[in-house]
Amino acid sequence: MTRNKNVYFVCVALFVFMVLADNFKPTNEILLNCGGASLDLDGRSWSTDRASNFGTGKSTMSEVAINDPAVPQIPFMTARIFESPYTYSFPVASGWIFLRLYFYAASYPGLNISDARFGVTSQSYTLLTNFSVLETTLGSKDHYVVKEYSIHIGGVTLNVTFTPSTTTINAYAFVNGIEVMSMPNIYTSTDDDVHVIVGIRSVFTIDNRAALENVYRLNVGGSNISGSRDTGMFRSWSVDASFILGTAFGAVNGGIDVNIECPPGTPSYIAPTIVFSSARLMGPNANINLSYNLTWTFSIDYGFAYLETSLL
Ligand SMILES: *[C@@H]1O[C@H](CO)[C@@H](O)[C@H](O)[C@H]1NC(C)=O
Ligand SMILES: *[C@@H]1O[C@H](CO)[C@@H](O)[C@H](O)[C@H]1NC(C)=O
Ligand SMILES: *[C@@H]1O[C@H](CO)[C@@H](O)[C@H](O)[C@H]1NC(C)=O
Ligand SMILES: *[C@@H]1O[C@H](CO)[C@@H](O)[C@H](O)[C@H]1NC(C)=O
Ligand SMILES: *[C@@H]1O[C@H](CO)[C@@H](O)[C@H](O)[C@H]1NC(C)=O
Ligand SMILES: *[C@@H]1O[C@H](CO)[C@@H](O)[C@H](O)[C@H]1NC(C)=O
């Protein structure tokens, strides 16, 4: 994202009281299985982009050469490959959207994944620059990556442009899947919901001019939560233990019997109940809880501002 304009978003879910109610129902939802067929997964229908009229530019379709059972079939087994700039234009209703881009670091026939280096822009935002899926997934157990952005759309079109790097020989761009779905105003600042920039303690107001990238979303003290178990927004939460610095893990209070009650104005679909049923506590003994700090540590890209939001 461009450095002056955008901030990254670190979402640390902690604990809240709220009431159970219906899931969020998106008014817009586009799921593209790029280069592949139309298929259903987890009750969602992914469409082929083969004959779609969303794209402008030259592209080819490809299928991964190796089938890794640890990688979800949809949308990762097929890709659309771009050797020159390519734009998808999606019809959307104005308002906030989640844009999720799915990438699998696999070699496609005739191409070397080391050469996949590209940028992605959307509206006036630079989402990715000099991006290498291979480098991004090196050292990680998973060989795929899902990038999630929240963008406010003023008009009725969302453009997403893939541009191969011009400074690398043989560079190409690709994408395995694209998800566009309308989202509620869950991040926008209100009087009692301010976002603080990590490190400099400066308050940041999220309004329609902000675009956010989700960097981490953790279920503190709990388990992984997949998108299909979210409240209709298909966000996923990760286990937090591997992010804790040192050996001071606090005490996990799992399976808390929560009486969930939303503060006025907070929709109940803000997060699934399971997020609130686990927590990390520092213990009721002041001699002990003052003797250590509970610290989460995140690796991040240099040069950006980061926001932290907690469900408290
Ligand atoms: C892909 O490129 C990398 C870096 O240039 C090289 O080390 C590797 O051998 C290549 N792989 C294949 C299959 O050609
Ligand atoms: C989207 O792309 C189309 C075609 O390139 C262009 O005409 C339109 O102005 C773009 N819209 C936005 C919001 O960038
Ligand atoms: C892109 O990233 C590669 C590898 O990290 C680096 O060597 C190269 O200088 C970068 N290119 C630009 C234009 O930033
Ligand atoms: C949680 O998900 C991550 C990412 O897919 C995976 O590496 C990890 O093993 C999972 N952890 C548990 C406890 O399921
Ligand atoms: C530490 O213990 C004291 C005394 O019971 C308690 O008031 C305080 O809330 C505890 N602090 C934390 C962070 O749990
Ligand atoms: C906990 O962190 C605070 C603030 O960084 C620091 O002043 C304090 O010494 C730390 N306490 C321990 C026990 O490490």
Q: Is the CB of 42 under 6 A from ligand 4?
A: no
Q: How far is the CA of 97 from the centre of ligand 2 (A)?
A: 17
On whether residue 193 sits in a domain, the answer given is no
Give the bridge partners for 8, in sequence order.
213, 306
Residue identifier of the C-alpha nearest atom 12 of ligand 6: 292
Domain with residue 31: its CATH number is: 2.60.120.430
Residue identifier of the C-alpha nearest atom 3 of ligand 6: 293
Instruction: Return the number of other C-beta atoms located less than 10 Å from residue 131's C-beta.
Output: 20
Identify whether residues 163 and 45 lie together within a single domain: yes
Identify whether residues 142 and 241 lie together within a single domain: no
On whether residue 33 sits in a domain, the answer given is yes
Ligand 6 atom nearest residue 291's Cα: 13
Q: Which of 136, 161, 182 is the last residue in one of the domains?
A: 182
Q: Is the CB of 56 under 6 A from ligand 1?
A: no
Identify whether residues 178 and 225 lie together within a single domain: no
Identify whether residues 32 and 168 lie together within a single domain: yes
Lowest mean pLDDT among 33-47, 185-199, 219-233, 261-275: 185-199
Please report, as a single letter, which amino acid is at residue 219: N
On whether residue 8 sits in a domain, the answer given is no
For residues 181 and 231, the answer to whether their CB atoms sit within 8 Å is no
Q: How far is the CA of 244 from the centre of ligand 4 (A)?
A: 15
Residue identifier of the C-alpha nearest atom 9 of ligand 5: 284
Identify whether residues 178 and 229 lie together within a single domain: no
CA angle 117, 123, 124 (to 5 degrees): 85
Identify whether residues 139 and 64 lie together within a single domain: yes
Q: Report how far Cα 180 is from the mean position of its chain's Cα atoms.
A: 12
Q: How far apart are CA 114 and CA 185, in angstroms?
A: 38
Q: How confident is the model at residue 217 (pLDDT cuts 50, 70, 90)?
A: very high
Task: State the pTM of this model.
Answer: 0.89
On whether residue 5 sits in a domain, the answer given is no
Residue identifier of the C-alpha nearest atom 2 of ligand 1: 114
Q: Is the CB of 70 under 6 A from ligand 4?
A: no
Q: Which of 155, 182, 209 is the last residue in one of the domains?
A: 182
Question: Pairing relation of β-strands 238-239 and 78-82?
Answer: unpaired
Q: Based on the structure, what is the number of domains in the chain?
A: 2
Identify whether residues 37 and 178 lie together within a single domain: yes
Q: Which of 163, 182, 201 is the last residue in one of the domains?
A: 182
Identify whether residues 262 and 166 lie together within a single domain: no
Identify whether residues 114 and 242 lie together within a single domain: no
Return the ligand number nearest the Cα of 66: 1
Identify the top-confidence range among 10-14, 155-159, 186-190, 245-249.
155-159
Residue identifier of the C-alpha nearest atom 1 of ligand 4: 224
The reply to whether omega before 75 is within 30° of 0 (cis) is yes
Tokens describing residue 129: 């620059």
Q: Is the CB of 140 under 6 A from ligand 4?
A: no
The tens digit of pLDDT for each residue in 123-176 reads 999 999 999 999 999 988 889 999 999 999 999 999 999 999 999 999 999 999
Q: Which of 244, 290, 291, 293 to mutate to test the pocket of ligand 6 (most atoms within 8 A of CB)?
A: 293
Identify whether residues 229 and 178 lie together within a single domain: no
Nearest to 99 by CA among 32, 36, 50: 32
On whether residue 309 sits in a domain, the answer given is no
Q: Would you say residue 194 has pLDDT above 70?
A: no
Mean pLDDT of 235-258: 83
**Each residue of 162-193: b (16+ CB within 10 Å) or e?**
bbbbeeeeebbbbbbbbbbbbbbebbbeeeee
The tens digit of pLDDT for each residue in 21-31 reads 578 888 889 99
The tens digit of pLDDT for each residue in 91-120 reads 999 999 999 999 999 989 999 999 999 999
Identify whether residues 145 and 282 lie together within a single domain: no
- pLDDT for residue 164: 98
Q: Which of 113, 117, 130 to mutate to test the pocket of ligand 3 (most atoms within 8 A of CB)?
A: 130
Identify whether residues 97 and 237 lie together within a single domain: no
On whether residue 210 sits in a domain, the answer given is no
Task: Give the domain range for residue 136.
Answer: 25-182
Q: Is the CB of 190 under 6 A from ligand 1?
A: no
On whether residue 13 sits in a domain, the answer given is no
On whether residue 290 sits in a domain, the answer given is yes
Return the ligand number nearest the Cα of 140: 4
Q: What is the 8-class DSSP label of residue 249?
A: -
Q: Which of 224, 225, 226, 252 to mutate to test the pocket of ligand 4 (most atoms within 8 A of CB)?
A: 224
